[in-house]
A and B are shown apart, each in its own frame.
Chain A
Amino acid sequence: MTAQIELENVQKHYGTFHALKDIDLSIPKGQFVALVGPSGCGKSTLLRSIAGLERISSGTLSIEGTVVNDMPPRKRDLAMVFQSYALYPHMSVRDNLTYALRLKGVSKADRAKAAQEVAGVIGLQDLLDRKPKELSGGQRQRVAMGRAIIREPKAFLFDEPLSNLDAALRVRMRKEVRALHDRIGATSVYVTHDQIEAMTMADHVVVLQAGVIEQQGAPMALYERPANRFVAGFIGSPAMNFVPGVVTETGRGVRLDMPGAPEIATEIDAAPGRAVDVGLRPEHLAIGASHGTSFPVQVAAVEQTGSSCYLFTEGAPELLVTTDGTSALRAGAAIDLSIAPGQVHLFDPETGLSLRD
């Protein structure tokens, strides 16, 4: 089966700035793909290149098997939801929804019917005659989605569509967008800087940094087997702890470069005596000796959210430990930490690459 959208060796230059480097990405029909990374990583440029709003400098970009490098956006049959929503302010919601149909020459009666149908899907039946300025942020967001759905395009492109909404609405819309995707069975490419959005919504997550795809795969695969230090630190919340360490004589263990730290067993093969960066997720550290050998640390600060508790330790490197529920610990308390077996990540201190493979 040919991929719905396929990028091969795509490059994008702005003058001397190399915005996208060797992008290879294949998106099967019906998949929800998230492009995630910090600001300026090239995720929006990549999305806009797929849309045709930016011209790629080299490589091939194909949609349903047709190379579209030189095809203008209006012929690509893709729908985009913008961060700003980009609703037409001088048109009613109905006219916003049916703008694309009007351009295609669909009759007025058919347009009205389609608008009614889509308004039902996105829950805006009563607002069809309003202007965008009379809508709330969440309603505008829905109109932007409706405008994309009504066209039944080859794929949906989302450019941080939820970032202008408040936190509670964002969580709700996250679920709605995904549910809509499943109902329509469309192909979606979703740009976000929020790794939680990417993890919760996507089938396939692409992590970008400085114009390079650092890693791509299923959300849990990225969490469990990050290919490098960047992905390890970016995916997962709160972020992974990194501690320098040395591989033990047997090659099947690692000793943290911290006072009193014990030897931790790993199943990763590494040369004995090799210096490594050890990655420990906050949720894989436990207070007490529940995971076996423990080591003493001092608590520097405690943050409680009610459902979980974040402990920061004294000294360098600082460790972050999360525990469920509330905690009676206060700053200055002395505690023992233990590390969950098999949950240790090793990275090359120079290249940052995982030593797992």
Chain B
Amino acid sequence: MRRALQSMRDGIGFDTMLVILALSYLFVFAGLPLIYNVVISFQTVDVFSLGTLLHPSAGAENYENIFDDRQAGTVLWNTIIFTLGSVAIQFTLGFALALFFHQNFTGATWIRGLFLAAWVMPGLVVGVLWNWLLSGDFGVINHVLESLGIIDQPVFWRSNPDTSLYSVMIANIWYGTPFNMILLAVGLSAIPEDLYEAAELDGANAFQRFWTITLPMMRATIGAVLALGVIFTLQQFDLFAAITQGGPAGSSTVAQYWSWELSFREFDFGRGAVISVLMIVVVLFVSLFYVRSTKAETQL
């Protein structure tokens, strides 16, 4: 007993306790819901049976229903476009801004800080903001485009099935770019200045220095930023809720929004769970990529 207490005070007992605490927290609040979610995806769950722990089994029926749904193709395509488009443009803009502010001109730190204002806003607020900006009748964006002569008549961004997904994407890019910029700026500042000086004396021009020093040295950071970008974009819900509600006619519905619609609009929790299970599988692979990237980072 005394030995156990002593180990608790200054032995591995204390370490073990800390690990168990953290793990049990994760298990109770993340592990169990995750498992329950997988279980539900194989059951028939409606509003009436929601209160009970166990529900009638549905076999693979929920999965079959989802894959047979005529909306599935659109949703899959929308999700791919939305995720890849958002991440690619966020990353490019974020990298460009990070490089720009890395030049350390007067006020660079200040202005970079201001960019974070977008990132700290709640998603619903950003959604409302872009609702106004994109509004067909009185939106600033239409006004600017019309003044510049790019369009002749107002574009109804949110209610036109051809542009509805892109109107959410624009808002999401605006929302996510500062996050990309900050992470990439941290990666940039971790590259020692004397490497650039050595490369310069070795005869490298600005482009060659970027290509042979900056990019390879940033590989780990870039991997991590891209992985996080995909994960966060797949989590994006607020902007859809605020801007298009997945419409019109499902033209801007992505997987995460569809899952919510099935569960909490149609109260078919089984099918809603199916989509989240499929998304978990995707995110799992992306997380593996993320872990590998950060591991490479610590090894450098």
Kindly state whether residue A183 has any CB partner on chain B within 8 Å.
Answer: no
In the complex the two chains form, is B200's CB within 8 Å of A89's CB?
A: no
Task: Flag the segment in A80-88, A166-174, A229-237 that touches B.
Answer: A80-88
Tally of A-B residue pairs with Cβ under 8 A? 63
In the complex the two chains form, is A78's CB within 8 Å of B201's CB?
A: yes
In the complex the two chains form, is B198's CB within 8 Å of A86's CB?
A: yes
Chain A residues, CB < 8 A from B200: 52-53, 72-74
Kindly state whether residue B197 has any CB partner on chain A within 8 Å.
Answer: yes
Kindly state whether residue B217 has any CB partner on chain A within 8 Å.
Answer: yes
Cα A75 to Cα B202 with chains together (Å): 9
The secondary structure that dominates the B interface is helix
Query: Most A CB atoms within 10 A — which of B197, B200, B202, B216?
Result: B202
Kindly state whether residue B18 has any CB partner on chain A within 8 Å.
Answer: no
In the complex the two chains form, is A103's CB within 8 Å of B204's CB?
A: yes
Cα A94 to Cα B70 with chains together (Å): 58
Task: Flag the segment in B4-12, B134-142, B205-213 that touches A.
Answer: B205-213
Kindly state whether residue A99 has any CB partner on chain B within 8 Å.
Answer: yes
A88-B213, A90-B216 given as contacts; is B202 within 8 A of A99 (CB)? yes
Q: Which chain A residues (78-132) contact chain B, with CB distance < 8 Å?
A: 78-80, 82, 84, 86, 88-91, 99-100, 103-104
Chain A residues, CB < 8 A from B197: 51, 53, 73, 80, 82, 86
In the complex the two chains form, is B216's CB within 8 Å of A51's CB?
A: no
Chain A residues, CB < 8 A from B107: none
A89-B217, A90-B216 given as contacts; is B198 within 8 A of A103 (CB)? no
Kindly state whether residue B199 has any CB partner on chain A within 8 Å.
Answer: yes
CB distance from A77 to the nearest CB of B (A): 8
Closest to B200 in A: A73
Chain B residues, CB < 8 A from A147: 198, 202
Kindly state whether residue B51 has any CB partner on chain A within 8 Å.
Answer: no
Cα A79 to Cα B202 with chains together (Å): 7
Closest to B218 in A: A90
Chain A residues, CB < 8 A from B192: 84, 86
Chain A residues, CB < 8 A from B204: 74, 99, 103
CB distance from A10 to the nearest CB of B (A): 19
CB distance from B300 to the nearest CB of A (A): 6
Kindly state whether residue B56 has any CB partner on chain A within 8 Å.
Answer: no
Query: Most B CB atoms within 10 A — which of A52, A72, A88?
Result: A88
Cα A104 to Cα B204 with chains together (Å): 9
Kindly state whether residue B69 has any CB partner on chain A within 8 Å.
Answer: no
In the complex the two chains form, is A82's CB within 8 Å of B194's CB?
A: yes
Kindly state whether residue A252 has any CB partner on chain B within 8 Å.
Answer: no
Kindly state whether residue A29 has any CB partner on chain B within 8 Å.
Answer: no
Kindly state whether residue A151 has any CB partner on chain B within 8 Å.
Answer: yes
Sample of 6 further A-B pairs with CB below 8 A, known A82-B194, A103-B203: A75-B203, A86-B192, A90-B300, A100-B202, A103-B208, A147-B198
